[in-house]
Amino acid sequence: MTGWLAGKRALIVGAGSGIGRATVDAFLAEGAQVAALDHDSDKCAALRQQLPDTPVIEGDATTRDANDEAVRVAVDVFGGLDTLVNCVGIFDFYRGVQDIPVERIDEAFDEMFRINVLSHIHSVKAAVPALMAEDGASIVLTESTSSFYPGRGGMLYVSSKFAVRGLLTALAHELAPRIRVNGVAPGGTLNTDLRGLDSLDLGTRRLDAAPNRARDLAARTPLGVALSGDDHAWSYVFLASQRSRGITGETIHPDGGFGLGATRPTSA
């Protein structure tokens, strides 16, 4: 490995699985000290078993208390904090405005934006004082291909990811020059347990449970690749490192070229 994050002290929110879990491993491999926050007790137990030197905080990232506690633990253990990553998210399985009963819209909206947007706001709010005290501090938020292109989620998911894109822009402007703020906008991802909204009876449904997912993901990208959390994690590494010290308010798109608007030609 390159040691790009040697000396960095990071808090990764939503670290228990998927992209967040892969980012924990990538940060550790690149020399960072990492603290992890996740709401799922089983995932936290697995992290503690697999990574005994990594502080693991169990708590709801949509709340002030959990984020404050995670930052406190990271600062106490590491002596400071200079990197925040948020990978928290939930999905709506392509439900459009015509698919959601009117009596469920308010509850579904609140659940989607609480998890996909408010969790990011609370994590940033909690971490900013510690980040401001360090040189070279950075924040990396998780957007989505849906932050830029409709059709990669339903009405609420796409709206929430556009909101994260706006949040990133506002934070990058506000927190400069002390803190850089950037985003990663993954395309479809293998081996993610991104689940659906409880408010739409989708809470037990997982995005990676679709049959032939790898084939379908590869077919819709010009590069013909089905990317995993491990692939996406290196975008977070780059944005957290000093190699990107001149970049803020920007987004990396590990999506196989989805934005080019064409899929691979099929063979005859």
d(CA 40, CA 38): 6
Alpha helices in the chain (DSSP H): 18-29, 41-50, 64-78, 102-113, 119-132, 155-175, 213-219, 229-240
Q: Judge whether 236 counts as a catalytic residue.
A: no
Whether the pLDDT of residue 163 is over 50: the answer is yes
Look up residue 227 and give its DSSP letter.
E
Residue 131 banded pLDDT, cuts 50, 70, 90: very high
Per-residue pLDDT tens digits for 178-191 = 999 999 999 877 67
Q: What CATH number has the domain bearing residue 21?
A: 3.40.50.720
For residue 223, being part of any structural domain is answered with yes
Q: 94, 149, 157, 236: which is the annotated catalytic residue?
A: 157
Report the domain count for the chain. 1
For residue 260, being part of any structural domain is answered with no
**CA distances in angstroms from 261 to 171, 213, 219, 231, 264, listed in the order given:** 29, 20, 12, 21, 10
Look up residue 29 and give its DSSP letter.
H
For residue 115, being part of any structural domain is answered with yes
For residue 153, being part of any structural domain is answered with yes
For residue 230, being part of any structural domain is answered with yes
For residue 265, being part of any structural domain is answered with no
For residue 105, being part of any structural domain is answered with yes
Residue 265 banded pLDDT, cuts 50, 70, 90: very low
> Which of 21, 66, 58 lies closest to 42, judged by CA?
58
Domain boundaries, position 14? 9-255
For residue 107, being part of any structural domain is answered with yes
